[in-house]
Each structure stands twice: as C-alpha cells, then as structure tokens.
C-alpha cells in the first residue's frame, strides 16, 4: 500500500482493516481501543460516531501525499481528518505510515 495516493487500493485497505477488527490498538496517549467494521463504516469502541470508509480513504491518501512530499507523519494531527487519533496507530501497524 506504500505507493502513490492515486494508486491506493481502497478494497485492499478495507480488507486489511476488516482482518484487524477486535485487535487492541493504542492511541498516542496510550489509550487502548478496538474497532469493528459494519458495511462501509468503522466503529471504534470509544466513540459513538463511526468513521466512514470515505474518511479512511481520504486519511490514507493524505498520509501518502504528505510522505511523498517529505513530510513525516509524527502523530494524528498531521493527518488532519476525523478519527485520526484512531487511524494513526492502525496505519502505523499496517505500514502505511513510515516509522523513522
């Protein structure tokens, strides 16, 4: 998935996210969370609102664009989308965010 933003395969990304459901992740602040996928939405156990597939794709594209520009994604604020505090550790885990 480390590629150009326009080549991001949303189906593959969503499949990987489906496979990682219910696995504990930790936010930057060390708060444990899990998520589940229902249809085209990601439900984090710590939030009432869902993160849509479109938002996940937008976030992934922003990560790739910034990294291609040489901007390091050092935290969720660098992603700048709804749910970034939860997407950041997941993206790191799957290798979408380069860890220096």
Average pLDDT rounded to a whole number, residues 1-16: 73
Kindly indicate the confidence band of residue 10, based on its pLDDT and cuts at 50, 70 and 90: confident
Average pLDDT rounded to a whole number, residues 37-58: 94
Which helix (H) or strand (E) segment holds residue 95: the answer is: none
Give the distance from CA 36 to its chain's centroid: 13
Say what the pLDDT of residue 99 is.
Answer: 77
Block residue for tokens 């589940």 = 36
Do residues 46 and 60 make contact, with C-beta atoms less than 8 angstroms apart?
A: no
User: Is the per-residue pLDDT at 72 higher than 80?
Assistant: yes
What is this structure's pTM?
Answer: 0.90
Q: What are the residue ranges spanned by the domains of the chain?
A: 5-94
What separation, in Å, do the N-terminal and C-terminal C-alpha atoms of the chain show?
A: 17
Say what the pLDDT of residue 1 is.
Answer: 47
Do residues 1 and 96 make contact, with C-beta atoms less than 8 angstroms apart?
A: yes
């Amino acid at each position: 998935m480390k590629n150009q933003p326009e080549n991001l395969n949303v189906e593959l990304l969503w499949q990987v996210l489906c496979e990682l459901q219910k696995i504990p992740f930790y936010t930057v602040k060390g708060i444990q969370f899990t998520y589940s996928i229902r249809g085209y939405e990601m439900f984090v156990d710590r939030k009432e609102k869902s993160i849509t597939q479109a938002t996940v794709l937008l976030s992934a594209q922003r990560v790739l664009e910034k990294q291609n520009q040489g901007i390091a994604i050092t935290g969720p604020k660098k992603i700048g989308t709804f749910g970034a505090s939860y997407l950041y550790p997941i993206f790191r885990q799957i290798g979408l965010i380069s860890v220096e």
